[in-house]
Amino acid sequence: RALSEPRAPQVQDQLGVTQVRDLRGRVVPLLADKTPTIIMINSRTCPWCKKSLRDIGQIAAGQPLPRLTVLTLEGAPFGKPMLESEGIAGARLVGPVGSAADLKASLRQVGTPVFIAVDDTGRVLATVQGYLIYDEMKRWVAVMSGAANSP
**Is the previous residue joined to 29 through a cis bond, with omega within 30 degrees of 0?**
no
Across the chain, mean pLDDT equals 90
**Element containing residue 124 per DSSP (H, E):** strand 124-129
Specify the pLDDT at position 41. 93
pLDDT range class, residue 55, cuts 50, 70, 90 = very high
pLDDT range class, residue 29, cuts 50, 70, 90 = very high
What's the whole-number mean pLDDT along residues 36-61? 96
The residue with greater pLDDT, 107 or 126, is: 126
C-alpha–C-alpha distance, residues 17 and 75, integer Å? 14
Sequence-distant (≥ 6) Cβ neighbours of residue 65 within 8 angstroms: 56, 88, 89, 90, 91, 141, 144, 145
C-alpha–C-alpha distance, residues 37 and 47, integer Å? 23
What's the whole-number mean pLDDT along residues 40-49? 94
Question: Shortest CA distance to 17 belongs to which of 105, 107, 92, 89?
Answer: 107
Measure the CA angle with vertex 17, ends 83 and 60; round to 5°: 25
Residue 62 reports pLDDT greater than 90: yes
**Element containing residue 117 per DSSP (H, E):** strand 114-118
Residue 52 reports pLDDT greater than 70: yes
pLDDT range class, residue 76, cuts 50, 70, 90 = very high
pLDDT range class, residue 1, cuts 50, 70, 90 = very low
The residue with greater pLDDT, 138 or 7, is: 138
Residues in the chain: 151
The residue with greater pLDDT, 110 or 135, is: 135
